[in-house]
Amino acid sequence: MKALLLMAALAACGGSDGVDLSGVYMVTADVSSSPCGTDMPTPSSPTYLKFTKMQVLGANVWTYDSCSDAAGTMCDNSGGIFGGFTEQIDNGWKGIESFDSFSGSTCELGYDERTAVLKMKALVIESNDYLDMPMLDEAHCTTDEAEKRNTTMPCMMHERIEATQL
């Protein structure tokens, strides 16, 4: 199976530091739905989130880990550039990933979009994952096609996390 991941905004994100997300946040709400629609409380919600900034190709990439303590020392170390936030937006950051996969005669396209918005000490993370299996041949089953279709594809997963900066 061929898979290609692309951080769409990564190359264009040098320059200003934007909103500083660094620090530990206490999760106050975590809801999700799959497929998207009616959000319900997430049973395995993290207690704390720890945001850190990485530099990748001269660009800022914000990532977060789930933590079990307020000091942010007992974390799962799941952060990385995939799932990160790379593009500055009002009061925060946005991350986008696109992918394609072609196996046999099946094309799969995906587009994941997330934002982290910080106002005062209140952080809201919104994530939406879109997926489609269109009737395309291998030559047309591309990441470019996934990016073109983006949020018009069916929404397969939504999550909203609210947290307070400590």
Q: What is the rounded CA–CA span in Å between residue 149 and residue 136?
A: 13
Q: What is the 3-state secondary structure (H, E, C) of the chain?
A: CCCEEEECCHHHCCCCCCCCCCEEEEEEEEEEECCCCCCEECCCCCCEEEEEEEEECCEEEEEEEEECCCCCCCECCCCCCCCCECEEECCEEEEEEEEEEEECCEEEEEEEEEEEEEECCEEEEEEEEEEECCCCCHHHCCHHHHHHHHHHCCEEEEEEEEEEEC
Q: What is the pLDDT along the chain (166 residues), one digit of tens a residue?
A: 333 333 433 434 444 578 999 999 999 999 999 999 999 999 888 999 999 998 888 788 999 999 999 999 999 877 666 679 999 999 999 999 999 999 999 999 999 999 999 999 999 999 999 999 999 999 999 999 999 999 999 999 999 999 999 9
